[in-house]
Structure 1
Amino acid sequence: MTAKTQYWLMKSEPDAFSIDDLKRKGQEAWDGVRNYQARNFMRDGMQVGDKVFFYHSNCAEPGIVGVAEVATDAYPDPSQFDPKSKYFDAASARDNPRWMLVDVKFVKKLKRTIGLKELQSEPALAEMALVRKGNRLSVMPVEATEWRHILGME
């Protein structure tokens, strides 16, 4: 691998897909992303081997709960073509798919949840996309210095 490892944060609602689900399955397609910027991060930025913080969102204690790794290059999200899927997109064509995904594989579950409030209180993370007001992206880059700082918080 010639590319330098990059770091990401991916959000999932734990009642839809949790870190425990990923641990049980081992590897899973990260489907259902329907935001262009988040899609572009997966399509244009992510490389196999990149590290990912798994973040539980929209729950009692939102926060980073585990580490995963990008396991595949981006490929078309099949749910966009399935009329029965809640992620169906009638405007997306198989020869020109609108939505992409990557597979992620389980690396580890953290010993504890590193909560959003705790992350927000860390001066070293003040510029992190996650803690900036108004950022609701489900997929976002993490700087190497932020990655190391957060792992040190565990």
Structure 2
Amino acid sequence: MKRKIAKTVTKRKKVVNSFTQTRFPIGMVVHYAGDLSVTANKEALEAQGWLLCNGEVRSSTAFPELFDVIKYANGGSGTSFNMPDFRDRFMRGTLGTSQAGTDPDASLRIAAATGGAIGNNTGSLQQTATGKPKTDWVLAEAGQHHHKCAHLDSGMKKAFGGSNADLISEI
């Protein structure tokens, strides 16, 4: 069994080496389709300098180049910084503060961890964009009534609107 694991690790290292030889910039985030529950996969990635975006606390002295790129955008302080935490999250780009006004929800974004970035900054977290509502919907509490649902507008800013118009007339 140990021989099989060693072979698997060696194969994984070769795959990772082929990517790292292209000189990806430090701090680049890539999707990985391998099974990270397999220890050999994680070991092979980490042996080549790839770290998981799982919110883990890292030392700025052990990873100075990475710290220089991401700083405390995802939390941390002193000689510790947090990796981004993309578990169960969608990645989202940002134009940064120089392009203020292009994201109507920028003011709603919070720090993903203590000390992390907020607003229209890399590392901030927008809880409302894809999350389940924090409370369950209650239907017919105020008697029978209908709501129409509009499609997204051209700016992709409006997902639904309420009305007392009949739903069927909107379909």
Q: TM-score, normalised by structure 1?
A: 0.27
Greater RCO structure (CA 8 Å; 6+ sep): 1
Query: Structure 1 or 2: larger strand share?
Result: 1
Q: TM-score, normalised by structure 2?
A: 0.25
Structure with max Cα Rg: 2
